Structure 1
Amino acid sequence: MTQKRKLRCAIYTRKSTEEGLDMAFNSLDAQREACAAYALSQKSEGWSVLPALYDDGGFSGGSMERPALARLLADVQAGRIDIVIVYKVDRLTRSLNDFARIVDVFDAAGASFVSVTQQFNTTTSMGRLTLNVLLSFAQFEREVIAERVRDKIAQSKAKGMWMGGTVPLGYDVIDRKLVPNAEAATVVHIYQRYLELPSVMALMEELEAQGIRTKSHVSADGSKRGGIPFVRGPLYHLLSNPIYIGKVKHRGLLHQGQHEPIIDQPLWDAVQAKRSQAIGDRRMRGNSQHASLLTGMIRDHVDRPMSPSHAIKNKRRYRYYVSSMAAVADGQRMAEAALRLPAADLEQAVIEATAALLSDQQIILDRPQVDARAMTSRMNAVGRLSNMLAHQEKGKVRQALLDLGLALIVYPDHIDASISRQKLAAMVDDSSTEQQDDGWRIPLVIATSPDRRGRNLKLVLGSPPSQQPRVNPELIALLRRAEAARQRLLQHAEPNTLIDREDERLARLAFLSPDIVAAILDGRQPSSLTPRRLLKQVNLPLHWNEQKAALGF
């Protein structure tokens, strides 16, 4: 009798809120216990539960941004999991689109998905249909709940009620209502000094010298937040928060609040008039020769904003983007070396990368096609956008990049740049309807290389320079495992013999082109070729030239 193959099972649990998670036996424990009992009932089929825990407590099923789910998908892709068990399918996700993406990951890795209380199997077409129907209802339920919550918040704010969030400086929350406290005098002082000083920067420096800090509070997990020196963002927010004149803001509308104001109307009006004038002056300067195009869109790898800076040498002005140390509160990020990039080179690289992305017609073809006229309209819109990036003044280019949701993250050895797919679609389709960003990003390609000092970045506009050989021991070990798997399959190539699924996946890599194998051994493979990517090549071509193209050679 042939022994059944051992199937490695991972249990995934999720709870939308953090309520009750501190109990000795909570909802996550109940889900895991039910899943473990089901796996035990399948022990005769070779099921075995892995010890790793994949628990997402306090995370919504409407988003893929969950740490345990990310670890689960990574382990599935790495071939460490054969079956994923959940208590109900909506524990995995409540979004139909996210579910399709998750199932694609499972299928690519040859993994199965089981719902304990609903008995579904994603390997059959009927199972997929039933799951899609169920998830449609789950997504509908989530959207209805979200609409009810939004309606309740809107109605409550229209009545002037405080609906939670960060408690502003100058108030305490008593019986779910804002009540002025001793900090109210500090708020009045800040408003008055803003009128007397030339700028917000001068006010910020004075408040730091006087030891005036942001409001401190203790979060639900016991960590202390706030109580740090004011920087521009929080200071601007304090000076424009209508809470201080007894108002509650919701979707651009002001409602009379149920709390007592701290700032009187004349002082508020004077501060807003000065702010409006300062904003107008900055906008007038926005199209100047030395305006910084990417301000507010660029951060470094430890989440510090990179601010414009400049130096003058031999009467020539050199602009840079530099990691802002003033905006960093914790010591760990302060300890990281500041990064500095030449502004003109980076701005040109971003414009060229965005224009190159827009020239790719696949960006348009990925959008749903209505008719030929709509397709022509999209083509024209992309053409106008590309032309504007190349020829318009800097102020309009900056606004276009903001509309595209441009985001840059600078690392010591590379730059991650991307735009919002949803915002690009809105611009291409000329949609004026405000839509929530779905979180999907389209990457931009910006070639970089570290300079000799290893702290700054030197931009390479065009194809990157030839790289030194980089031997990857993990890739070489993967090739050895592939050859060993091929040998095992040949030795056990008998009728009615169960084939180990992992050996089957690995053995495919034993038929790589000799040129590809030689390049990996010499360290001449593309930087994008990683062990994970090589394992994910399920349909690897047999033709050697096609293999090179598929793997980026």
Structure 2
Amino acid sequence: MTSTTATGQRRGTRAHGPSARRTARKTAPAAPAAEAGSTTAQRVIGYLRVSTAEQADSGLGVAAQRARISDEAARQGWEVEWIADEGYSAKNLDRPGLRLALEKLARGEASALVSSKLDRLSRSVVDFSNTLAIAAKQGWAVVLLDLGVDTGTPTGRLVAGLVAQIAQFEREMIGSRTKDALAAAKARGQRLGRPRATPDAVVARVVALSADLSPLQVARALTADGVPTTRGAAAWSASSVRRILHGHALDQLASTASTEPDVSHERTA
């Protein structure tokens, strides 16, 4: 991961970019934008990412991204702090460079996060939506040069809103598919939840004792005999006994379902 600073050449006397536009709307950006005639450049973070070590070593992927952001920085009059994640995928946001960038933005050390392409920042609609929500809350902008998106503008905020709706739809669809899959597994008699960790001999003893004793009596008997619980404790409780009996029942149900013949394709008379 590298972090250096480069200043884009100003053109004209008026500042441009996400933070300057937010200043015009009096929304208090994370860092002050340059005013007309000022020599102070707007500071942004140029985020670079390549997913393989080979790309990082060759510098080809990073160089192309940096050149694209540098061109825009020269046009807009930005001062760019470069932060790169080299050898990291975009499957999630757990990247050291991106974490550093988000920390700096949260502290107000820059007013925008600039990426040459959306897939350099994130490949997940949900992660991207969460990033946009953080940016809106903290008062900095997200700029994606390939899409022409700048959340410091009305159009950029519209795109951000659409992305948020898509992300919510994706969350609901994932939840629906998960619920359907669990229901189907339960119908097949498949046991849900964590695998049983209690030794078979202990389960068999609990089941045998439960034929004549209550869960509390079984717990007292196991404690008196010095049988450790699943977690290694010395004292049993009635609830522990009930959990083992419930797990045993699920195992029996799954075993029965797996040995039943499949008659779904048989013809009826």
TM range (shorter): 0.5 to 0.7
1:202 to 183, 201, 220: 220
Closer/same/farther in 2, CA of residues 162 and 5 from structure 1, 3 Å limit? same
Change (3 A) 1:101 1:41: closer
Change (3 A) 1:118 1:162: farther
Q: Give the CA deviation at 1:126.
A: 0.9
Q: Does 1:240 align with 2:246?
A: yes
**Which runs of structure 2 are paired with 1:16-55 in the superposition (5 Å)?**
25=52, 37-44=64-71, 45=73, 46-50=79-83
Alpha-carbon distance change, 146 to 127 in structure 1, aligned in 2, over 3 angstroms: same
Q: 1:118 to 1:202 in 2, by over 3 A?
A: farther
1:118 aligns with 2:143: no
CA 1:82/1:40 → structure 2, altered by over 3 Å: closer, same or farther? farther
Aligned-pair distance for 1:115? 3.5
The one of 151, 154, 167 equivalent to 2:195 is: 167
Checking the alignment, whether the CA contact within 8 Å between 1:8 and 1:83 is kept in structure 2 is yes
* Residues in 1 aligned to 2:243 and 2:141: alpha-carbon distance in whole angstroms: 49
Partner of residue 187, structure 1: 203
TM-superposed deviation, 1:140: 1.9
Contact 2:85 2:95 in 1 (8 A): no
Q: Structure 2: which 5+ runs fail to align?
A: 1-9, 11-38, 74-78, 261-269
SS state of the match for residue 45, structure 2?
Answer: strand
1:91 aligns to 2:124 (yes or no): yes
Amino acid at match of 2:45: R
The CA deviation at 1:236 is 4.0
- The amino acid that maps onto 1:202 is R
- Say which SS state the counterpart of residue 258 (structure 2) adopts: coil
- Mean Cα deviation higher: 42-51 or 83-92: 83-92
Aligned counterparts, 1:516-535, within 5 A? none
Q: Cα offset for 1:117?
A: 4.8
Task: Determine the structure 2 residue equivalent to 1:147.
Answer: 176
| CA spacing shift, 1:206–1:240, aligned 2, 3 Å | farther
Q: Work out the CA distance in 1 between the residues paired with 2:151 and 2:241.
A: 53
How far apart are the structure 1 equivalents of 2:253 and 2:122?
43
CA–CA distance in structure 2, aligned partners of residues 58 and 205 of structure 1: 49
Letter in 2 for 1:38: Q
| SS at 2:162 equivalent | helix
Change in 2 beyond 3 A, CA 1:52/1:99: closer
8 Å contact kept, 1:113–1:121: yes
- Residue type of the partner of 1:258? S
Q: Which residue of 2 aligns with 1:104?
A: 136
Aligned ranges 1:348-427 → 2 under 5 Å: none
Q: In structure 1, the residue corresponding to 2:204 is in which secondary structure?
A: helix
Query: For 1:133, what is the secondary structure of its paired residue?
Result: helix
Q: CA deviation at 1:141?
A: 3.2
Residue 242 of structure 1: CA displacement? 5.4
SS across alignment from 1:241: helix
Distance 1:240 1:229 in 2: 20
SS at structure 2 position matched to 1:50:
strand
1:495-550 deviation per Cα after TM superposition (whole angstroms, max 9, x unaligned): xxxxxxxxxxxxxxxxxxxxxxxxxxxxxxxxxxxxxxxxxxxxxxxxxxxxxxxx
Match of 1:295 in 2: none
Identity of aligned residues (%): 17
* Structure ranking higher in helix proportion: 2
Deviation (angstroms), 1:187: 0.6
Q: Distance in 2 between matches of 1:199 and 1:92?
A: 54
The CA deviation at 1:125 is 0.7
Give the C-alpha shift of residue 92 in structure 1.
Answer: 6.6
Give the direction of change, closer, same or farther, for the CA distance of 1:48–1:71 in structure 2 (3 Å limit).
Answer: closer
Post-superposition Cα deviations, 1:415-458, rounded to whole Å, max 9, x if no partner, equal xxxxxxxxxxxxxxxxxxxxxxxxxxxxxxxxxxxxxxxxxxxx
What is the total number of aligned residue pairs between the two structures?
202
Q: Give the corresponding residue for 2:257.
A: 257
Deviation at 1:258, TM superposition (A): 2.1
* Relative contact order higher in (CA < 8 Å, ≥ 6 apart): 2
| AA matched with 1:7 | V
- Looking at structure 1, the residues matched to 256 and 190 of structure 2 have their Cα atoms a distance apart, in angstroms, of 9
Q: Partners of 2:106 and 2:52 in 1: how far apart?
A: 31
Go from structure 1 to structure 2 and tell me whether the alpha carbon gap of 1:51 and 1:245 turns closer, same or farther (over 3 Å shift): closer
Measured after TM superposition, the shift of residue 121 of structure 1 is 0.7
Change (3 A) 1:117 1:259: farther
In structure 1, C-alpha distance between the alignment counterparts of 2:49 and 2:257, rounded to whole Å: 44
Residues 71, 200 of structure 1: CA spacing in aligned structure 2 closer, same or farther, 3 A cutoff? farther
**Amino acid of the structure 2 residue aligned with 1:76:** L
* Counterpart Cα distance in 2 of 1:128 and 1:157: 43
Local SS of the residue matching 2:177: helix
CA RMSD of aligned residues (A): 4.7
* Matches of 2:109 and 2:166, distance apart in 1: 32
2:162 to 119, 133, 143: 133
Letter in 1 for 2:196: P
Distance (Å, rounded) in 1 between the aligned partners of 2:108 and 2:221: 57
Contact kept? 2:45, 2:110, Cα under 8 Å = yes
Structure 1 residues without counterparts, runs of 5 or longer:
14-23, 171-182, 215-226, 249-254, 261-553
Instruction: Spell out, residue by residue over 1:284-330, the C-alpha distance to the aligned partner (whole angstroms, 9 max, x if none).
Output: xxxxxxxxxxxxxxxxxxxxxxxxxxxxxxxxxxxxxxxxxxxxxxx
Is this contact kept in 2: 1:9–1:50, CA < 8 A? yes
Q: CA deviation at 1:101?
A: 3.7
Tell me, in whole angstroms, the C-alpha distance in 2 between the residues paired with 1:146 and 1:131: 23
